[in-house]
Structure 1
Amino acid sequence: MSASVLHFFYHRQILDKALLKLKDKSYAANDEYLDMPIDFIPGLRHMRLKDVPTFFWDRVYAQKHTAVWREMEKYTKASAIVVNTFDELEREALDAMKSIPPAIYPIGPLQFLEEEIPNKLLRTFGNNLLKEHTNCLEWLDSQEPNSVVYVSFGTSAVMTNDNLIEFAWGLANCKHPFLLVINPDLLIGKEAILPPGFTKDTADRAMISGWCPQEEVLCHSSTGGFLTHSGWSSTMDTISAGVPIISWPSSFIDQVTNCRNAVLWGTGLEIDINVKRDKVEKMVRELMESDKGKEMKKKAMEWKKSAQESIKPGGSSYVNLDKLIQEVLLH
């Protein structure tokens, strides 16, 4: 998870009191209430109530909620906390956490770390949970630079069939090339079936694929944007690749927080959980065609450069990794 989400979890007791009202459906549906800023936790002052991880207020995740708190009880007993992030990306949250023991060591992005360390064995590690379909890379080779919208909702995010239909027709109507990943567990309790006519209507500009090698897809020159659920692994993939996003946090764990951060970083657009095809079309066009989209791409490339600098000798993550070894592991 991100440093921001970890910081939320650390302040569990304060947040539990602040979010009591969210268990009342009338408050949970009140946008004005959900937009209230969280100004009582240092390092998270730009967050709103709606950006708090869903563990805190959604009964659907009660079982996972218990498991997380059980792990968080071990937090203060640890020798160190290691986070896949870097100082420049989450500076305010990390600065606030430095006054709370144990010591925290941001050493990400891990994608760059494994490239920087001269040990080929590190390349055998990966974070994919599904078999990769690599034919999508050949299709990307045939597309124009920065022209393709990559669409993937991770390995654990799920949606309804209505959600899938709205996304599908929104992508079809925007007229941009797109790579759509359909993983086996995408729909809740059923097999994913695309709407009739969709495949035929988009055959000249679309590829439907199983799980892709995401880092390679995002780093491909043809990829211009990413429609994502905003899991933390995917978020770090986009930062490392310099790709702007449209974020659809499907109300699961930390995605709402990651989505908010992407907007604050200037690299993301947020789409409502109750997705509609006209909104999908509008946001894809905004990302791929507008001046705002160009600014988002510029900002994404700046964050990529910052991430690369953090992992080089003398960079923040490089120094933090050395400190972790010297102060914790060797000690």
Structure 2
Amino acid sequence: MGSMGSDHKPHAVCIPYPAQGHITPMLKVAKLLHSLHGFHITFVNTDYNHRRLLRSQGPAALDGLPEFQFVTIPDGLPPSDDDSTQDIPSLCRSTMTTCLPHFRKLLEELNDTSTSLPKVTCVISDCVMSFTLDAARGLGVPIAFFWTASTCGFMGYFHYRHLIDEGIIPLKDASQFTNGYLDTAIGSVPGLKNMRLRDFPSFLRTLDPDEFMVHFILREMERATMPDAIIVNTFDDFERRALEAMAAILPPIYTVGPSPSSPAASPTVHSAPYVCTEWGIGMEIDNDVKRKEVEGLIREIMGGEKGKEMKRRAMEWKEIAVEATQEGGPSLVNLKRLVHEVLLAKKGAV
């Protein structure tokens, strides 16, 4: 974008969900906006994760550059010096109910005329931190939600309401955990094939109609229709069918991946049918895990014909992913479109 004074520099506030599998992809997008498109970046961590990063990477790890700063807000949970991912339901409840006023105050401070910072131009928020929508709307700047997991995961979440309306969840009694009910085919999710109830997150398998995580996801997915855009951590060739289904029901979507994420550290859909069937890079094990079965699968993966085919497919996908994120590749082209069409839409600058 060339050099420009701080008054004219675009300023993106990036706020991930406070778990490492969400922070890393958001940080990658922030760095690309900074290095390729000249954005001033304010990266928002929670106090808890800020301390964790400083402990693991040293006191200078988050110093940043003059135009790439790290700031913090509280997550609303009791203070802790633990060095682990926080309890997901507790964290979701707390961020949803306590973080909005802290984030609003931060935006006000960033826009204070007594600072030398450029005015906030846009907000990029994790999709499950939708309280940020209210703050961005109050400030009058564009907001893009960032979905850091797979597109098929998003589509699964988005159709929770349908599972409830059809009476598929909550479970009726404890026998449904073991009597084959979890193998119920779910064919009503656009863009997804071969999905079963067991392929959705475990917190969906509940007898409690008031299960918090189910209602949290329902709320966040309803609000996912409201931002100016949704950024997805994937690439077009990897999830084309699911992306087409997603684009048909949501604001403009921009694929800018892949970048590293950790499904184990977040509430994400288990995409076993895609890993095993669509992408051909995994093998599924039955829920009734036995040592002999595990041993057989490991042997097949390490030296069997299926294992060789999986390795071949993994290398193919790796090459396509690398091409997507290289100069001129679709992911960087989409990032440029996002900047011009959404993030700078109200600034009138390129």
What TM-score range do you get, normalising by the shorter chain? 0.5 to 0.7
Corresponding position: 1:308 with 2:325: no
Corresponding position: 1:45 with 2:58: no
Corresponding position: 1:296 with 2:310: yes
Alpha-carbon distance in structure 1 between the residues aligned to 2:267 and 2:331: 26
Question: Helix, strand or coil: the match of 2:283?
Answer: strand
User: Compared with structure 1, are the counterparts of its residues 13 and 71 closer, same or farther at alpha carbon in structure 2 (3 Å cutoff)?
Assistant: closer
Whether the 8 Å CA contact 2:157–2:221 is kept in 1: the answer is: yes
Alignment match, 2:117: none
Residue in structure 1 matching 2:182, options 34, 38, 41: 34
After superposition, give the CA deviation of every residue in 1:83-104 in whole Å (9 maximum; x if it has no partner).
2111111111111011112112
Corresponding position: 1:109 with 2:269: no
| Structure 2 letter corresponding to 1:76 | T
User: Compared with structure 1, are the counterparts of its residues 41 and 70 closer, same or farther at alpha carbon in structure 2 (3 Å cutoff)?
Assistant: closer
Whether the 8 Å CA contact 1:310–1:316 is kept in 2: the answer is: yes
After superposition, give the CA deviation of every residue in 1:7-26 in whole Å (9 maximum; x if it has no partner).
12222221213423734333
Question: Helix, strand or coil: the match of 1:293?
Answer: helix
Alignment match, 2:276: 263
Rg: which structure is higher? 2
Whether the 8 Å CA contact 1:53–1:254 is kept in 2: the answer is: yes
Whether the 8 Å CA contact 1:23–1:57 is kept in 2: the answer is: no
Corresponding position: 1:94 with 2:108: no
Alpha-carbon distance in structure 1 between the residues aligned to 2:207 and 2:242: 27
Identity level (%): 43
Instruction: List, as ranges, runs of 4+ consecutive aligned residues in structure 1 with deviation greater than 4 Å.
Output: none
How far is the alpha carbon of 1:79 from its aligned partner? 1.2
Alignment match, 2:339: 325
Corresponding position: 1:279 with 2:285: no
Whether the 8 Å CA contact 2:155–2:190 is kept in 1: the answer is: no
Whether the 8 Å CA contact 1:3–1:90 is kept in 2: the answer is: yes
Question: Helix, strand or coil: the match of 1:270?
Answer: coil
Alpha-carbon distance in structure 1 between the residues aligned to 2:247 and 2:237: 14
User: Compared with structure 1, are the counterparts of its residues 21 and 74 closer, same or farther at alpha carbon in structure 2 (3 Å cutoff)?
Assistant: closer
Summarize the alignment of residues 54-203 of structure 1 with structure 2, pairs less than 5 Å apart: 54-59=202-207, 62-111=211-260
How far is the alpha carbon of 1:258 from its aligned partner? 2.3
Whether the 8 Å CA contact 1:2–1:232 is kept in 2: the answer is: no
Corresponding position: 1:24 with 2:38: no
Corresponding position: 1:5 with 2:18: no
After superposition, give the CA deviation of every residue in 1:144-180 in whole Å (9 maximum; x if it has no partner).
xxxxxxxxxx7xxxxxxxxxxxxxxxxxxxxxxxxxx
Whether the 8 Å CA contact 1:105–1:320 is kept in 2: the answer is: yes
Equivalent residue pairs, number: 194
How far is the alpha carbon of 1:54 from its aligned partner? 3.0
Aligned CA RMSD, in angstroms, stands at 2.5
Q: TM-score by structure 2 length?
A: 0.50
Alignment match, 1:178: none
How far is the alpha carbon of 1:268 from its aligned partner? 0.3
Alpha-carbon distance in structure 1 between the residues aligned to 2:193 and 2:289: 28
Alpha-carbon distance in structure 2 between the residues aligned to 1:326 and 1:109: 21
Which consecutive unaligned segments of at least 5 residues does structure 2 have?
1-148, 346-350
Whether the 8 Å CA contact 2:170–2:204 is kept in 1: the answer is: no
Alpha-carbon distance in structure 2 between the residues aligned to 1:103 and 1:42: 17
Whether the 8 Å CA contact 2:186–2:194 is kept in 1: the answer is: yes
Alpha-carbon distance in structure 2 between the residues aligned to 1:8 and 1:25: 23
Alignment match, 1:121: none
How far is the alpha carbon of 1:282 from its aligned partner? 1.2
Question: Helix, strand or coil: the match of 2:171?
Answer: helix
| Structure 2 letter corresponding to 1:30 | N
Question: Helix, strand or coil: the match of 2:273?
Answer: helix
Alpha-carbon distance in structure 2 between the residues aligned to 1:293 and 1:324: 39
Question: Helix, strand or coil: the match of 2:211?
Answer: helix
Alpha-carbon distance in structure 2 between the residues aligned to 1:59 and 1:314: 50
Alpha-carbon distance in structure 2 between the residues aligned to 1:14 and 1:65: 12
Whether the 8 Å CA contact 2:182–2:196 is kept in 1: the answer is: yes
Whether the 8 Å CA contact 1:3–1:85 is kept in 2: the answer is: yes
User: Compared with structure 1, are the counterparts of its residues 83 and 23 closer, same or farther at alpha carbon in structure 2 (3 Å cutoff)?
Assistant: farther
| Structure 1 letter corresponding to 2:150 | S
